[in-house]
Amino acid sequence: MDEPILRLEGIGKVFGPVQVLENISLSIAPGEILGILGENGAGKSTLLKIVSGIYTPSVGTVHLDGEAFSALDPITARRHGVAMIPQEFNLVPTLRVYENVFLGQELRRGGLLDHGAMRRRTRELLDSLEVALNPDLPIERLSVAEKQMVEVARVLVNDARIIILDEPTTVLTDREVTVLFKVVRALVARGVAIMFISHKLKEVKELCDRLLILRDGQQVELCAMGVLSEEDMARKMVGRELSQIYPDKPPTSAHETSPALRVRGLSLKGVLHDVDLEVHRGEVLGLSGLVGAGRTEIAEAIMGLRRRDGGELCIDGKVVDIRSPNQAHALGLAYLSEDRQGKGLQLSFNVMQNITALSLKRYVRGLIQHSAERRQAEHYQQRLSIKAANLAAPVSQLSGGNQQKVYFSKLLDIEPDILILDEPTRGIDISAKQQIYRLIRELTDQGKAVIVISSELEELIGMADRVLVIREGRVMVELCGDDINEEQIMLYAAGARQHANRERVGS
């Protein structure tokens, strides 16, 4: 094997009191593809940022071309040929392909831009990747896959020799993935080393030579691909005790009554296909799946935020038609968006105004009763222990956890019967998480039905009474009881295991 182009030696990273990475050692040779697997928060992106010089490791050294760095900066990393293709593309939509490829490093002749040379060079690069793409097209006219190719061409201008692909396939269709893999192999043939991050086990297995599995910042496995099956991979990514932050689940009971919410054949063109689900009072239903699988779209279609292309909704056995969030709220539904700051809370509004955003009608006796609003806000402040010095201050001043509690209060204030919670604990600390888990259980104990959408498997396992795994807009499987575990969920979510028809697994 060739000399390693990149070698990490005992890399560790600490953020405040939190150990994010611990003792990572690996090396990559030119022309090698290293797959990196791990759950959210396992330390993948921290590792990538260390390699590309954005973060400085707390301990350990990075060797590039045999040169040792204890502190790497982005410019040095780039000079040594490290390039990252991010999940969110950094392209200027209004500029042309070649202008983007050379953005910030334009070729000049006599002080003026040399459009001809840039166009020619871009065409050469794209040809070498066997991608047929007109360098003169504006970026906004390209598909997601084509944009990705532009990003690849962009790093090749710099003679990149280590290319980091951060979950490049989540946004691609199967056919586009095939093209991407062809391009990756073409790069490898030129001696480029690839670090490939993905959630999809099958792809990793298909593409990579070696595999690094991270769990809680630790290197669990570093081995040649041949040895491991997909099931092994899933098991290694997971395997951890669930801590006691989850309240006890109630014993499973037979649901004799009709479900609080029943969805039949829900479809959104190109996004959701014939989704069935039901949730009973007193129950937490988990929706699992990879990012982009269609979980949020299910919630938004139910809430009337998206126009359904098909499907029927029943609440307490009665068929209902929901075309707007207002109607959904009136029928006792409430939705907590995953995008707290973009769709959930008015950041410039104060705590009171946010809490009464849905329920404002209740505070109007001719005019808004501001004192009643304040009393209600104080009630929630106490009930959910919201730490806010001043209820009249904008919620942007609160911490993420307290903002989330305000968002919950906003939903609770319309006294909903069915709550759909999309990533209810995203970006909040562990103690706030625990409080929110307790609150969710409290709500089901009161006879409310709760749907939890989450990317954190641990959270679903800890909270959900049943779990539906969603993949590519379809319900793949329904898991109950002991079958709700990370291995099962991962296998179905990543498509490693598949049933011709959706089935029910578990007791």
Q: Which residues would be at the binding site for other proteins (CB under 8 A)?
A: 305, 324-326, 328-329, 335, 337, 342-349, 353, 357-358, 360-361, 364, 367-368, 370, 410
- Closest approach, Cβ 305 to other proteins, in A, equals 7
Q: Return the number of the residue (98 or 363) whose C-beta is nearest other proteins.
A: 363
Q: Return the number of the residue (336 or 479) whose C-beta is nearest other proteins.
A: 336
- Closest approach, Cβ 334 to other proteins, in A, equals 10
Contact 28, 205 (CB under 8 A): no
Q: Return the number of the residue (70 or 94) whose C-beta is nearest other proteins.
A: 94
Q: Between the CA atoms of 486, 492, 493 and 498, what dihedral angle is there, to the nearest 10 degrees?
A: 170
- Closest approach, Cβ 392 to other proteins, in A, equals 9
- Closest approach, Cβ 367 to other proteins, in A, equals 4
Contact 8, 62 (CB under 8 A): yes
- Closest approach, Cβ 149 to other proteins, in A, equals 31
- DSSP 8-state assignment for residue 96: B
d(C-alpha 282, C-alpha 189), whole Å: 57
User: Among candidates 364, 439, 435, which has minimal Cα distance to 399?
Assistant: 435
d(C-alpha 110, C-alpha 74), whole Å: 30
- Measure Cα distances from 28 to 20, 192, 253 in Å: 22, 10, 53
Q: Output the CA angle 87-75-139, nearest 5 degrees.
A: 40
Contact 205, 491 (CB under 8 A): no
- Closest approach, Cβ 306 to other proteins, in A, equals 11
- Closest approach, Cβ 301 to other proteins, in A, equals 14
SS3 483: helix
Q: Return the number of the residue (358 or 470) whose C-beta is nearest other proteins.
A: 358
Contact 345, 400 (CB under 8 A): no
Q: Return the number of the residue (125 or 305) whose C-beta is nearest other proteins.
A: 305
Contact 463, 440 (CB under 8 A): yes
- Closest approach, Cβ 302 to other proteins, in A, equals 13
SS3 319: strand
Neighbours of 310 (CB within 10 A): 14
Instruction: Record the tokens describing residue 34, joined without a space.
Output: 């290293």
- Closest approach, Cβ 363 to other proteins, in A, equals 8
Q: Return the number of the residue (69 or 349) whose C-beta is nearest other proteins.
A: 349
Q: Return the number of the residue (64 or 302) whose C-beta is nearest other proteins.
A: 302
Residue with tokens 């939190």: 18
User: Among candidates 172, 229, 167, which has minimal Cα distance to 200?
Assistant: 167
Q: Return the number of the residue (300 or 486) whose C-beta is nearest other proteins.
A: 300
Q: Return the number of the residue (243 or 348) whose C-beta is nearest other proteins.
A: 348
Contact 386, 402 (CB under 8 A): yes
d(C-alpha 346, C-alpha 83), whole Å: 37
Length of the chain: 507
Strand partners, 424: none
- DSSP 8-state assignment for residue 502: -
- Closest approach, Cβ 300 to other proteins, in A, equals 9
- Closest approach, Cβ 329 to other proteins, in A, equals 5
Contact 186, 178 (CB under 8 A): no
d(C-alpha 507, C-alpha 505), whole Å: 7
Instruction: Record the tokens describing residue 74, joined without a space.
Output: 């982005």
Q: Return the number of the residue (160 or 345) whose C-beta is nearest other proteins.
A: 345
Q: Return the number of the residue (87 or 346) whose C-beta is nearest other proteins.
A: 346
